[in-house]
Structure 1
C-alpha cells in the first residue's frame, strides 16, 4: 500500500504544486494524509457520480484534474453541489488530490498529452512561465506541426473531433491551410496572441468567446473550440500510467462514469 501523502509527493515531483497559477486551488484537498490506499480512481472532475464510482470500486483516493474545492466553502451542508460532493467524500472516507494548472503547465502534462493526441510533431512550449525546482521549464500551451500539413480548416476540425472524441468542434476559418498548430487544454482563448507570436495559423483550445473568434478570423488564424472536457480528459490515462508505475502495489483505475457534460445536436 501507499499513503495519500505518498501519492501527493509523487504528483508533486511530476507537476510541482507551487507552479500552479495564483487563482488556482490545486493540492491535497480532502482526507487524511497518513491514510493508506491500495486503489486509486483518476478522473477529470470529482462529481457525486465519481465519488459513488470510487466507493463501489473500493478506492480510498481520487486523483482529479479540476479542484473539488475551487471557491471558499463557507458551509459544508447538502444544500449545495460542492457540499454534497464533499460530504460524500468524507462519509466514504475517500481522499482527494487535485492537480490543475500545475499539471497543465508541466512537461508531459495536459498540453503535451493534447499535442500528442492530435499527432503534432516538433512540439515546443507555447508560453514558458518559468523553471521549476528540478530545472524543468514549465508553461501553458504547446505548438507543433500538423501531421498532414495543408489540411483545410473544416477537414482539420473534423479530425480534431474524431481524435479527441469531442461532442463537437466550433471553429472559425482563418483562410489559411493548417500547418503550424497551437494547443491549449481548457479555456486558453486568451492565449491567441501567443499563438500568433509563435507563427501559428491554427489554435485548438476550448471555451472560446465570440470576440475571440472574431479576432482570430481577422488575424487569419483558424481557431477551434473542441470543448473543455475533450481537450483535458487526455491527461487521465497518463496520470493513471504514471501512478501505476510509481506504485506497482496500488491498483490505479480511470473513471468510466465521468463523461462529457454537454451534447451537440
Structure 2
C-alpha cells in the first residue's frame, strides 16, 4: 500500500480542497509512492513523535496541525521537518478541512459531550455554508459549573476554565481549538454558552460583561480527540497495517493544581 492510498482516503473523509485560505493541509513531506510500513497519528509532529514513529517502524505520520505552516526560510538539524526527511518519514496533515467536515473535530466533540449533533454552523466560511463550530440545543437546561465539569470528563482535561453565571444554559456553541473569536457569533446566535479553547484575556472580560458562560477546555484537549477517531476509521479500512496514536502526542503544558 502506497502513501497515496492513505492520502486519497483522507481526502474522501475531509477534502483537502475544503481548507481555509490561511491553512496548509495536505501531503507536506515525503514520497507519495512510498510503501506504508506503519501509521502514527498525532496532534502535532514533534521530535518526540518522530522518535516514537521511528521506534515503531512507522513511516507515515498523520497530524492535525501542519508541520509546515508558516513559510520556512531554512531547514536545519533538530527541526521536525529536517528529522522527517532524515528518517525518510512521510507527513500528511489534516487541519481546517477536518475542522469543517462531517464527522470532523466538532462532531467528535459533540459525541464525547453526549450532545445531539447539529447542522447549525457557528461560523460559516465557505460559499456553501461550511465552516467552524456547531450550535446545539440541550434537552434539559444546565448551569455553568455543571457544563464545565461535563467538558472536563468528556475531553479528559487536566484543567477547565469557565466564567460563572446564574443564567440557565440551553443553547450551546461548540468550536474546537482556538475559538475565542467566535464569542460574538455565539452571542448573536442566541447561545447561552461557548465551549472552545485558547481563550485570550480580553475575550474572558467580554464574556463576563455579557454574563455569558465561556468555557476553555484547552486547544490540545478539544483537538487531540481527532487522533483516536482517525485511528479507528483507518484501522477498519486498512486492517493489515500497524496504526497507532503516538503516546507522545500529549498536552505540552504541565499544571500545578
Question: TM-score when scaled to structure 2?
Answer: 0.93
Per-residue CA shift, 1:53-92, capped at 9, x if unaligned?
Answer: 10111101000000011111111112xxxx5211221121
SS of aligned partner of 2:133: strand
SS of aligned partner of 2:17: helix
CA contact (8 A) 2:110 2:117 kept: no
Distance across 2 between alignment mates of 1:84 and 1:50: 12
1:173 aligns with 2:164: yes
Aligned residues: 255
Name the counterpart of 2:201.
210
Pick which of 192-201 and 46-55 moved more. Answer: 192-201
SS of aligned partner of 1:179: strand
Report the Cα offset of residue 188 of structure 1. 0.8
CA contact (8 A) 1:182 1:204 kept: yes
1:145 aligns with 2:137: yes
Name the counterpart of 1:123.
118
Name the counterpart of 2:89.
94
Cα–Cα, structure 1 residues 131 and 244, in superposed 2: closer, same or farther, change >3 Å?
farther
Cα–Cα, structure 1 residues 122 and 42, in superposed 2: closer, same or farther, change >3 Å?
closer
Aligned pairs (5 A) from 1:7-22: 7-22=6-21
Report the Cα offset of residue 13 of structure 1. 1.1
Distance across 2 between alignment mates of 1:101 and 1:122: 19
Structure 1 gap ranges (5+): none
1:68 aligns with 2:63: no
Per-residue CA shift, 1:207-230, capped at 9, x if unaligned?
Answer: 111111122222332001111000
Cα–Cα, structure 1 residues 122 and 24, in superposed 2: closer, same or farther, change >3 Å?
closer
Distance across 2 between alignment mates of 1:10 and 1:25: 18
SS of aligned partner of 2:250: coil
Report the Cα offset of residue 200 of structure 1. 1.2
CA contact (8 A) 1:127 1:194 kept: yes
Name the counterpart of 2:31.
32
CA contact (8 A) 1:10 1:246 kept: no
CA contact (8 A) 2:107 2:117 kept: no
